[in-house]
Amino acid sequence: MTTKSRKRALRIFDSPNSSTPEVQLLSNGTYHVMVTSAGGGYSRWNSLTLIRWVEDAVCDNWGSFCYVRDVASREYWSIAYQPTLKRADVYESVFPDGSAVFRRRDLDIETYTEIIVASEDDVEVRRTCITNHSGARRMVEITSYAEIVLTSPAIDSTHLAILCCRRPRSG
């Protein structure tokens, strides 16, 4: 691979706002993820939509999200710009071949999130690393959120909601 083609393969965005959404498509042929530089997007398996997504270049507020909350200050934000739309002290979305990466820094707390689709299995992996740069002890809460669909996009548009709950943790 030449240096020029390597540079084209790595797209870096330091702002979530662009006139047209910047997207990264991840797939193994049957499992597909689309994510924008602001953090919106979808997950699909074959012809089934897994996570609710509505095409909207203006709002871009559909997808799988993770919220971070500083317990002491009660300040909160998301690991990408969407859905809270809170500006970070530092924000970067990076789209190398085969993954999407979001890095932001808020109140001296850095989050680094990588999204990949496994090549051998029909699964996406979202890994978030949190680093406290303040020098003081901090407590943060992490909450993940997604609207589960598990049907085709056409059928999803005619139904209002599906309720999913996580089982309690075992001992």
CA distances from 139 to 109, 112, 131 (A): 10, 17, 11
| pTM of this structure | 0.86
Identify the CA nearest to 142 among candidates 132, 128, 154, 155: 128
Per-residue pLDDT of the chain (171 residues; tens, 9 = 90+): 555 555 557 899 998 888 778 999 999 999 999 999 999 999 999 989 999 888 877 788 899 999 999 999 999 999 999 999 999 999 999 999 999 999 999 999 999 999 999 999 999 999 999 999 999 999 999 999 998 888 888 888 887 666 777 788 887
As beta bridge partners, residue 129 has: 112
In the three-class reduction of DSSP (H, G, I as helix; E, B as strand; rest coil), residue 92 is classed as: strand
Domains of the chain: 3-156 (2.70.98.40)
